[in-house]
């Protein structure tokens, strides 16, 4: 990586990666802006980085910054203004038998088994389907994040019930950030991905946090476009957050520089 900025006592070094394979469009290459992962102040800077359209993967806080492509748009939900639509209300009703539990970010064998089943079913051949305990900890936990595991479990006479989904969620003073969600691939009829976001919104409201960050929205991408179904939705244009047009199929982004 190359250093793209200087640093004084009040600055965080920012790196621009070399080109690498795009994780969303296999025919494209990508580059990222990365905050210095060795800086001990990174945890304190992280809430501001979310405001700048960055997100976390393990110990890395990054933002896509690709030549000639602005497809990845950071999005977030202002939780007090959110209202579930008819489909989302049906999802909640269909899953009324599911209980939510907020846990410390400590991997369990049950979580790891579900994670590996999910990757084999949903990302076969993509390089992640061989993940084990080490990769789980590196990718989902990291060494410094203030994260939690939101578990979704079947309710029943014995507790805890069967684990159906885990939403890895970072917690800051004013917001939650959805890092990664994995779920039972054999329970597709439940809509567990949608349910996880709805439950994270409930969690954020309960703890009086203003936003739920959803990572990146990509217009027309089959695995990313679902985020447009949550309203109201805000997108980061490179300088600030703007409301998404409910019927928009694209979001004009200008991410050439830091805000």
How many angstroms separate the CA atoms of 218 and 223, rounded?
9
pLDDT for 221 equals 85
Alpha helices in 10-148 (DSSP H): 42-51, 86-94, 109-122, 133-136
d(CA 45, CA 249) in angstroms, rounded, equals 32
Q: What SS3 state is found at 100?
A: strand
- List pLDDT tens digits, range 45-74: 999 999 999 999 999 999 999 988 889 999
**Structure-token pair, residue 145:** 């994040």
- Domains of the chain from N-terminus onward: 2-74+216-243 (no CATH), 78-212 (3.40.630.30)
Q: Indicate the pTM of the whole model.
A: 0.90
Residue 98 has pLDDT above 90, yes or no: yes
CA dihedral in degrees (45, 11, 75, 178; nearest 10)? -30
104, 143, 138, 16 alpha-carbon torsion, rounded to 10°: 130
DSSP β-bridge partners for residue 170:
147, 177
- Residue 256 pLDDT class (50, 70, 90 cuts): very low
Give 144-197 pLDDT, tens digit per residue. Answer: 988 999 999 999 777 789 999 999 999 999 999 999 999 999 999 999 999 999
Average model confidence (pLDDT) across the chain: 89
Q: Is the pLDDT of residue 2 over 50?
A: no
Residue range 15-39, pLDDT digits in tens: 999 999 888 888 899 999 999 999 9
Is it the case that residue 246 has pLDDT exceeding 70? Answer: no
Mean pLDDT value across residues 138-144: 93
Q: In whole angstroms, what is the distance from residue 126 CA to residue 77 CA? A: 29
User: Which of the two residues, 259 and 85, has the higher pLDDT score?
Assistant: 85
Q: Judge contact between 219 and 71, C-beta under 8 A.
A: yes
Helix (H/G/I), strand (E/B), else coil: 63: strand
**Mean pLDDT on 249-259:** 48
- The percentage of residues in the chain with a pLDDT greater than 90, rounded to a whole number, is 73
Are 168 and 149 in contact by the 8 Å Cβ rule? The answer is yes
- Among 16-20, 64-68, 198-202, 219-223, whose mean pLDDT is lowest? 219-223
> How far is 233 from 75, CA to CA, in rounded Å?
7
């Amino acid at each position: 990586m190359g250093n793209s900025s200087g640093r004084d006592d009040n600055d965080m070094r920012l790196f621009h990666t070399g080109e690498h394979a795009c994780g969303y469009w296999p025919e494209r290459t990508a580059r990222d802006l990365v905050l210095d992962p060795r800086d001990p102040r990174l945890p304190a800077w992280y809430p501001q980085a979310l405001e700048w359209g960055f997100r976390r993967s393990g110990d890395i806080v990054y933002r896509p910054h690709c030549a000639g492509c602005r497809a990845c748009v950071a999005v977030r939900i202002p939780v007090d203004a959110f209202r579930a639509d008819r489909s989302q209300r049906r999802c909640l009703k269909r899953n009324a038998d599911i209980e939510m539990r907020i846990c410390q970010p400590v991997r369990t064998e049950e979580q790891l088994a579900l994670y590996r089943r999910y990757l084999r079913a949903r990302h076969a051949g993509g390089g992640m389907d061989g993940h084990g305990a080490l990769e789980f900890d590196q990718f989902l936990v990291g060494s410094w994040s203030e994260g939690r595991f939101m578990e979704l479990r079947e309710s029943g006479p014995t507790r805890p019930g069967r684990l159906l989904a885990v939403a890895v969620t970072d917690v800051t003073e004013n917001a939650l950030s959805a890092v990664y969600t994995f779920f039972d691939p054999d329970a597709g009829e439940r809509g567990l991905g949608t349910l996880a976001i709805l439950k994270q919104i409930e969690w954020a409201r309960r703890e009086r946090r203003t936003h739920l960050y959803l990572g990146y929205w990509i217009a027309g991408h089959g695995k990313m476009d679902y985020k447009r179904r949550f309203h109201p939705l805000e997108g980061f244009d490179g300088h600030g957050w703007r409301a998404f047009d409910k019927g928009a199929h694209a979001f004009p982004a200008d991410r050439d520089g830091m805000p």
